[in-house]
């Protein structure tokens, strides 16, 4: 009973934090999804003796207010306590940004950091922080849905549910309507008006790519290799002229014939590894960002304010990751091709770069450790998290997919340290909610041991909100004016273990970094200590 009471108290804090972050409230279904997304496990209904989420929240009258919307749907809203009134006020002040207002984003953030050296890199588009952002996986799913044929807007929800087995919950990403989602993807999806209604069409340039990627099943065994030898090339060309079963039979016969004549019967047959399979290579990192530059960022994965991973928001980078995932799905979804890249037991070892299928999508991962005969723990190079997966889900990565640098950048929040020595669960939960599904402005401070230290600012509110100031004001952090090495990253930094610094990997087409950057970060004087962030002199 005491365990249940303890679990209930923790759950109340988590539910209150989630509902406070949702200005318009959440339906019971949305609360379930948000909890799953944030905590990575479902609401513990059975552990607490409840049959439904609604039954659970009715037992939290001091935390949850149950309201009904105009259409009769139940909406759950937070009842703030003394410790969360400040955050509730910040959320209540959030505004819907107009196009005109979004143009001022970079100017606002820049004015809060008054130094001549601050400028956005030319490669980044004007920032529009606070604008809802669809995750790359969801964008790729919508593109995949429209790849075979256009779709009426009225049929989108049904088609999405039928294809992916879940409802398209665009509201959890911050969008108010499907039209807002389509507007955010106007560069890849066009809306045409027809007699039957609004028709969603994948734009021609992307459709052309998809046609090239969709290889017929009979030819799928022939994946293009990087530099095949003459013998391999002629063998592949011959294989395409024959039925796949015939090829398999002849290959076995030939292998047996060679063994008999060469006296190798005692050795087991070793599975052939495709010549374009990555075996002893590593991904490289993105080139380092310039000190004091402003960048649009999305926080992809959070362990604590001292250990999280970001994506830099640039149109080019976003497209490249989407295209990569889209192409990998089309290639590995063919059984013949997928079977060709199955990894033998000898290749399943720590440090091996490969790919894994999760929920029908393929991701680039590095094996971190082998758990047992069936499972391994992998590091997602483009998203930053560790996860235990089945060995059977792994495949060799094609050489072609090695070129794009790892997209996840390991980060720590600049100039802060936890009050209690380690970050409390409440501080971590608050930081997660500040970051959740939002485009933010990042202000680069420096790199320390390969970890990017930066300030994070939410410009979607009436007043710019700096995250280090919120953590300080809530009593979770001390602002110290210097960057203390992250204890979490010192204990485990998979990026440092498995990802090569930019420019060190010969296969990748990346920009050479400024090798003086990190040294300048350490040697530069600390004139920034007098700068004012969010009106607070540090």
Q: Over 386-434, what HEC string results?
A: EEEEEHHHEEECEHHHHCCCECCEEEEECCEEECCCCCCHHHHHHHHHH
Q: What are the backbone dihedrals phi and psi of residue 108, each rounded to the nearest 5 degrees, phi first?
A: -65, -50
Q: Among all chains, which residue has been given the structure tokens 């809060």?
A: 112
386-390 vs 394-396, strand pairing mode = unpaired
The predicted model gives 249-270 an average pLDDT of 44
Q: Are 515 and 95 in contact (CB under 8 A)?
A: no
Instruction: Tell me how far CA of residue 178 lies from CA of 140, 149, 156, 181, 330, in angstroms.
Output: 16, 19, 9, 5, 26
Q: Answer whether residue 453 shows pLDDT above 50.
A: yes
Q: Are 366 and 351 in contact (CB under 8 A)?
A: yes
- Tell me what pLDDT residue 536 has: 42
Helical (H) or strand (E) element with 102: helix 99-102
Confidence of residue 86 (pLDDT cuts 50, 70, 90): low
Question: Two tokens at 279?
Answer: 């075996």
CA 437 to CA 311: how far, in whole Å? 12
The 8-class DSSP code of residue 508 comes to S
CA 517 to CA 513: how far, in whole Å? 8
Q: Which of 125-139, 348-362, 382-396 has the lowest mean pLDDT?
A: 125-139
Q: Are 27 and 75 in contact (CB under 8 A)?
A: yes
439-448 vs 294-304, strand pairing mode = antiparallel
CA 294 to CA 93: how far, in whole Å? 24
Confidence of residue 71 (pLDDT cuts 50, 70, 90): confident
Comparing C-alpha atoms, which of 411, 367, 403 is closest to residue 502? 403
Q: Answer whether residue 222 shows pLDDT above 50.
A: no
SS3 16: helix
Q: Answer whether residue 517 shows pLDDT above 80.
A: no
For a pLDDT cut of 70, what percent of the chain falls above it? Answer: 70
CA 244 to CA 236: how far, in whole Å? 12
Q: Among all chains, which residue has been given the structure tokens 């990190």?
A: 518
Query: Is the pTM for the entire model greater than 0.85?
Result: no
Q: Answer whether residue 507 shows pLDDT above 60.
A: no
Q: Answer whether residue 336 shows pLDDT above 90.
A: no
The predicted model gives 288-299 an average pLDDT of 94
The predicted model gives 409-414 an average pLDDT of 98
Distance of CA 491 to the CA centre of its chain: 22
Q: Among all chains, which residue has been given the structure tokens 């490289």?
A: 284
Angle at 371 between CA 373 and CA 393, to 5 degrees: 65
Instruction: Tell me how far CA of residue 125 lies from CA of 121, 136, 203, 211, 471, in angstroms.
Output: 9, 18, 22, 30, 29
SS3 68: strand
Q: Which of 181-195, 388-402, 473-487 has the lowest mean pLDDT?
A: 181-195
CA 427 to CA 478: how far, in whole Å? 12
Give long-range contacts, CB 8 A cutoff, 24+ apart: 39-47. 39/14, 43/11, 44/7, 44/11, 47/4, 47/7
């Amino acid at each position: 009973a005491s365990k249940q009471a303890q679990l209930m108290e923790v759950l109340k804090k988590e539910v209150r934090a989630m509902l406070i972050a949702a200005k318009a409230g959440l339906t019971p279904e949305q609360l379930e999804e948000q909890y799953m997304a944030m905590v990575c496990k479902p609401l513990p209904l059975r552990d607490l003796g409840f049959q439904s989420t609604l039954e659970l929240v009715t037992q939290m009258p001091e935390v949850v207010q149950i309201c009904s919307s105009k259409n009769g749907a139940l909406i759950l809203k937070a009842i703030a306590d003394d410790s969360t009134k400040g955050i509730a006020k910040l959320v209540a002040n959030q505004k819907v940004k107009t196009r005109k207002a979004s143009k001022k984003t970079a100017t606002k953030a820049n004015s809060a950091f008054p130094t001549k050296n601050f400028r956005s890199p030319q490669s980044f588009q004007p920032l529009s922080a606070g604008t809802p952002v669809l995750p790359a996986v969801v964008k790729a799913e919508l593109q995949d849905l429209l790849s075979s044929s256009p779709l009426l807007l009225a049929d989108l929800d049904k088609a999405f549910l039928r294809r992916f087995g879940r409802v398209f919950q665009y509201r959890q990403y911050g969008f108010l309507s499907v039209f807002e989602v389509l507007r955010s993807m106007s560069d890849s999806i066009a809306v045409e008006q027809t007699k039957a209604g609004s028709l969603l069409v994948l734009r021609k340039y992307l459709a052309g790519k998809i046609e090239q990627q969709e290889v017929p099943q009979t030819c799928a065994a022939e994946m293009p290799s990087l530099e095949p030898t003459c013998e391999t090339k002629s063998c592949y060309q011959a294989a395409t002229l024959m039925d796949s079963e015939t090829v398999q039979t002849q290959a076995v016969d030939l292998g047996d014939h060679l063994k008999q004549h060469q006296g190798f019967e005692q050795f087991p047959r070793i599975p052939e590894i495709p010549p374009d399979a990555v075996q002893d290579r590593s991904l490289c990192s993105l080139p380092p960002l310039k000190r004091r530059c402003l960048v649009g960022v999305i926080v992809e994965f959070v362990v604590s304010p001292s250990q999280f991973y970001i994506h830099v928001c640039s149109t080019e980078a976003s497209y490249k990751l989407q295209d990569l995932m889209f192409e990998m799905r089309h290639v590995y979804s063919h059984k013949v091709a997928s079977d060709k890249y199955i990894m033998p037991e000898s290749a399943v070892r720590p440090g091996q770069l490969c790919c894994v299928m999760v929920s029908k999508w393929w991701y680039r991962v590095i094996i971190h450790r082998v758990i047992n005969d069936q499972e391994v723990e992998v590091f997602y190079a483009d998203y930053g998290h560790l996860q235990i997966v089945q060995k059977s889900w792994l495949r060799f990565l094609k050489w072609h997919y090695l070129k794009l640098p790892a997209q996840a950048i390991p980060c720590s929040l600049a100039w802060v340290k936890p009050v209690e020595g380690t970050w409390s669960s409440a501080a971590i939960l608050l930081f997660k909610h500040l970051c959740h599904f939002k485009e933010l402005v990042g202000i680069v401070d420096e790199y320390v041991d390969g970890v990017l230290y930066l300030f994070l600012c939410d410009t979607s509110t009436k007043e710019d909100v700096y995250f280090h100031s919120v953590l300080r004001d809530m009593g979770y952090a001390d602002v110290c004016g210097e960057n203390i090495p992250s204890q979490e990253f010192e204990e485990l930094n998979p990026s440092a273990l498995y990802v090569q610094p930019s420019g060190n990997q010969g296969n990748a087409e990346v920009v050479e970094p400024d090798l003086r950057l990190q040294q300048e970060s350490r040697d530069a004087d600390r004139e920034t200590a007098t700068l004012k962030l969010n009106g607070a002199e540090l």
